[in-house]
Amino acid sequence: MSKILIRGAKVLGGEPQDVLIDGETIAEVGRGLSAEGAEVVEADGKVLLPGLVDLHTHLREPGREDSETVLTGTRAAAAGGYTAVFAMANTFPVADTAGVVEQVWRLGREHGYCDVRPVGAVTVGLEGKQLAELGAMHDSAAGVTVFSDDGTCVHDAVIMRRALEYVKAFDGVVAQHAQEPRLTEGAQMNEGAVSAELGLGGWPAVAEEAIIARDVLLAGHVGSRVHICHLSTAGSVEIVRWAKSRGIQVTAEVTPHHLLLTDELVRTYDPVYKVNPPLRTERDVHALREALADGTIDIVATDHAPHPQEDKDCEWPAAAMGMVGLETALSVVQETMVDTGLLDWAGVADRMSFAPARIGRATGHGRPVSAGEPANLTLVDTAYRGPVDPARFASRSRNTPYEGRELPGRVTHTWLRGKATLVDGKLT
């Protein structure tokens, strides 16, 4: 078995230490470790984190391989420091049966750049009318633990209650795309002063907040776990904070773009800024940052949503919603949370590895950087700062809102169970 010695890394941002990998496992962590027979990686004070875990990724395969495939998406994940991703169910066909989730799971195992945990649909065809095969998907080889109709909302309260009751039996979680459909018909951007000036249909904050309020009450009533996808408003933060104070089993995620960008960017009419939920106000951005810092929001999830050029390079109303995010997420979090003093690197490890692995029950991921643990690791050059160049992305799609923008931090190495998937910034 191969040995790798990572020399002088700041483990979770602490004092420099050496980390010895032996095969698939971390063998030893300390200072002055022997390098005999080991490949040496000089970390030079870079930050070593547990491999990142994304609870919300769109890999598009099967059905939209023009946007992304499991191969290209997991390569993008490795380039961004991820060792595990949860692949959302809105594929073609929808991942609402054991057969489809097993197909995605096997593709992930075949390509090997990161572990792929399929997310099962809550309802058949994402139509919100009939529960999908939740138990069969959980009992399949894929072992599905997270269920979501992401892209659409489980808007029927009876269906949502039944889903929460069903997954409780095996400690699953329902991840809700909180969007009341009747309040967002024709919506193009955040409802507010900017939408009024531009004459674009508004997506009101209450459309998100009303669903979250209903679902935390349902979760509390049933005694089951509910997870809120891409939370985006200050009001939503307050509802989740209240629910947690009552002991309700609710967790929530925020995307990198909702931590940095605001609806003012829509004035350009550039569809790269069109996303669901929409970019919100500066007030919302500050509330989301504070909530991530104090733990009201549990995790950062990318909502990596690749689209081919023709779906974005068009007029605003016709453009698809979504942004790629796997390869820039950690940089945006450093910019908005670490460099502002809201989180330290141990906090980043919690929000981007430990907590998402715990919510999704991703065995072997989100583990401490210590002896005996799986060697799922990422090494980050936090001193780096440079412009984002989508031409260098591993993702098949290029719909990033950060093109040309200078961001800090660069992932230099990623290891999946001791195997290097990224070395010196290059995929293996």
Q: How many CB atoms lie within 10 A of CB 131?
A: 17
Instruction: Return d(Cα 336, Cα 343) in angstroms, integer.
Output: 9
- Binding residue per annotation — 399? no
**Is 307 labeled as ligand-binding?**
yes
**Residue for token pair 């609710």:** 250
**Cα separation, 213 vs 350, whole angstroms:** 26
| Residue tagged active-site, from 149, 215, 298, 303 | 303
413 is in an annotated binding site: no
Whose CA is closest to 76, among 353, 345, 328, 405? 328
Nearest of 256, 216, 251 to residue 359 by alpha carbon: 251
Instruction: Establish whether 230 is an annotated binding residue.
Output: yes
Tell me whether residue 58 is annotated as binding: yes
Q: How far apart are CA 285 and CA 370, in angstroms?
A: 35
Do the annotations mark residue 56 as ligand-binding? yes
Instruction: Tell me: is residue 276 an annotated ligand-binding position.
Output: yes
Spatial neighbors of 99 by CB under 8 A, at least 6 apart, are none
Pairing of strands 82-87, 52-57: parallel
The helix or strand, by DSSP H or E, that contains position 115, with its residue range, turns out to be: strand 115-118
Distances (CA, A) of 112 to 84, 85, 255, 408: 10, 12, 25, 28
The residue written with tokens 């075949």 in the block is: 110
149 is catalytic: no
What 8-state DSSP symbol labels residue 181?
A: G
Whole-Å CA distances, 422 to 76, 114, 216, 306, 384: 10, 11, 40, 21, 17
376 is in an annotated binding site: no
Please state, in angstroms and rounded to a whole number, the distance separating the CA atoms of residues 163 and 283.
34
DSSP 201-244: PEE-HHHHHHHHHHHHHHHHHHT-EEEE-S---HHHHHHHHHHH
Pairing, β 426-427 against β 419-423: antiparallel
Rg (CA), the chain: 21
The answer on whether 257 is annotated among ligand-binding residues is no
What is d(CA 80, CA 221) in angstroms, rounded to the nearest whole number? 39
Residues that constitute the known binding site for Zn(2+): 56, 58, 150, 177, 230, 303
- Which residues are identified as catalytic? 303
Residues annotated in a binding site: 56, 58-60, 90, 150, 177, 230, 276, 303, 307
Task: List the binding residues for substrate.
Answer: 58-60, 90, 276, 307
